A and B are shown apart, each in its own frame.
Chain A
Amino acid sequence: MTGPPVDPGSDWHRLHPLSPLIRAGRGAVGLLVVFVVSFSGTSSDPWNAVGHLAALVVVGGLGFVSWLVTRWRIEGGALRIETGLIRRSSLRYPLAQIQAVDTVRPGLARLFGLSELRLRMGGSTAGSARLAYLTGMHAERLRDELLALASAAPAQESPAGATVPEPAWVHTRTLVSVPTPQLVASIALSGIGAIAIGLLVALGTTAAVAPHAARGVLSGGVVPLLGLVTGIWRRFNGDYGLSVAEAPDGLRLQSGLVETSAEVIPRGRVQAVRMVEPLLWRPLGWARLELDVAGHQQRKRENRSEGRQLRAVLPVGSRDQALALLDRIVPGAPLPGAPPPRRARLKSPLRFRHLAFARTDDCVVGCGGRLARITSWVPLAKVQSLRWSQGPLQRRLRLGDVFVDTAGRSVGAAVRDRDEVESRFELERLTELARAARRR
């Protein structure tokens, strides 16, 4: 079942027997509580007991069957997962299209020493492969092996009896780790944190001055408050104890307080890098660095915030730290330099002080943002398409925008409000450089 080292092209493997229980997660715990309460609170009627026992057996049986029919193995350069009893589904995930591999350990799984392996796929395979749950050691070994196979022989049949590559974790080099007090302060100073603090202060003063009104507000505003608290918790949990290490197979990120997750981003899968310097962080000189990786993201039960947030590879750090980390991820990335012409201030008054742009043969960087300063780097080899646009006001002012699109979830680099002629020239130049970078 589980345990022995994984051989490529070998027999089918099963997940850990406790997987259905843990997949049910909080639902299982809730059901158990209901069950115990109903069982203990009834008369000593034997049929009642039999009924409860039957229900337990049925639920347990369903879980057992679900575990029994799910199996997986590595064959022919792809991971194959088969599941389902009545309607069998066989899913195939080509290893060459792996964008990132995560190991996620929700609280319940950690109790039993299990973890879930998630492969984020890109290219024509949408979605992600999930192996929930395997024992911790097994999951890590499988992850290393999948990554090694993905980078080594993308489209070949794995020869039977191939030696398992040496575990990559011995060669890691830690780049970054975030101290917790800094993380807490950064969240407090961020948008959501400021709102939460403001609300708390308002509630506090209302409670002091008019307790009845405060109670009314509290009872009415419980749901948004809960949403706010959940958002803050998710962000804190997702970034707690984050450590970034550089390994031969890519960038390794580990974080999490209750639900831990370890992610490996293979080399060459980074589509864009973004540095965000929010308004409230500027006096402290802090910045956040985010990575954009292609591939569909499952939103359910992830310890990262909802929406379009990218993977924060440095949730908070000094600007120098961020730039040093950037240099490891995208070597030779330029810093934005040339500001736009003065007349751009008429069109984008708030953005104007942040707008800047630079490019080398390998990378283009665009800087902008209204309140926060947002700098986006796009390696030219990753450019998907380019767009030029000019609104009516820009036409009067002879300005133009150039947008560089990537396969990641964010838009990419935006070079806004340059002189019209310059922007068209840049469009051409970037197209040529992207073509050359693709060929290299």
Chain B
Amino acid sequence: MSSLDWDRPSPRLRELRRLEVAAVTVAVAVAAGLVLALAVAWWVGVAAAAAAFVGGAVADILVGRRIAAWSYAEREDDLLVQRGLLVRRLSVVPYGRMQFVDVVAGPLERWFGLATVRLHTAAAATDARIPGLPAEEAARLRDQLASLGEARAAGL
């Protein structure tokens, strides 16, 4: 398995997540800072805002490492998806077992030109998904998986 060609999500996913973390950090810092500054004392508010920013920086680093740990590989008969930082996971989904393939893109994702590909089998526990793929790559992967799935479909 180490000899495989592992593909990764697009680097733009990192920018997208950074934007999301930044937005949440600013919102929390402003809210907490204002509330505490008015309620207790102005320097408490400033300290709270600073703490929020530090938390945001840490979150940014963690998110970045989590994205770096996400990868996928197309093998001859199945698709592998590896993810997770604290709990490492590897999913093996045979092409013949794929029931359908979702390509989903929220508004932010679309702005960055990215999409998430999600695989479904007849088992509810199948959790293979790949976020942050460039839109064309996501479409290509979906079509490829769909045709491979159809070609090798086995009955229930």
Contact = CB atoms under 8 A, between A and B. Distances in A.
Interface residues of B, number: 27
B151 interface: no
Contacts of B87: 389-392
B1 A424 contact: yes
Contacts of A124: 99
A384 B86 contact: no
A interface secondary structure, majority: mixed
A384 B123 contact: yes
B78 A431 contact: yes
A438 to B, nearest CB: 5
A388 interface: yes
A386 B156 contact: no
A424 B89 CA distance: 11
A99 B84 CA distance: 36
Interface stretch (B34-42, B48-56, B90-98, B138-146): B90-98
B125 A387 contact: yes
A412 interface: yes
Nearest to A439: B154
A435 B94 contact: yes
A384 B89 contact: no
A368 to B, nearest CB: 16
Contacts of A390: 87-89
Given A389-B90, A438-B96, A384 B77 contact: no
A431 B156 CA distance: 17
Interface string B106-127: 0000000000000001111111
Residue from A269, A294, A407 whose CB has the most chain B CB atoms within 10 Å: A407
B94 A434 contact: yes
Contacts of A409: 124
A438 B1 contact: no
Residue from A388, A424, A428 whose CB has the most chain B CB atoms within 10 Å: A388
A261 interface: no
Contact of B88 (A99, A395, A431): A395
Contact of B90 (A392, A395, A427): A427
Contacts of A186: none
Contacts of B29: none
B92 A123 contact: no
A411 interface: yes
A255 interface: no
Contacts of B121: 384-385, 405, 407
A127 B121 CA distance: 17
B127 to A, nearest CB: 7
B94 to A, nearest CB: 6
B128 interface: yes
A349 to B, nearest CB: 20
Interface string A95-127: 011010000000000000000000000111000
A391 B96 CA distance: 29
B126 to A, nearest CB: 4
Interface string A338-369: 00000000000000000000000000000000
B156 A123 contact: yes
Contacts of A35: none
A407 to B, nearest CB: 4
Nearest to B122: A407
Contacts of B96: 435, 438
Contacts of A427: 90, 92
A190 to B, nearest CB: 26
A389 B126 contact: no
Given A387-B90, A387-B92, 16 more contacts: A122-B156, A384-B126, A385-B92, A385-B93, A385-B94, A385-B126, A387-B91, A388-B91, A389-B89, A390-B87, A391-B87, A407-B123, A409-B124, A424-B1, A435-B78, A438-B94
23 contacts: A97-B156, A123-B156, A294-B156, A385-B92, A385-B123, A387-B89, A387-B91, A387-B92, A388-B89, A389-B90, A390-B87, A390-B89, A391-B86, A391-B87, A392-B87, A405-B121, A406-B123, A407-B121, A409-B124, A427-B92, A431-B78, A435-B78, A435-B94
Interface of A: 96-97, 99, 122-124, 269, 294, 381, 383-392, 395, 403, 405-407, 409, 411-412, 424, 427-428, 431, 434-435, 438
**Interface pairs A-B: 9 shortest CB-CB:** A407-B122, A405-B123, A384-B123, A384-B121, A388-B90, A385-B126, A405-B125, A386-B92, A385-B93
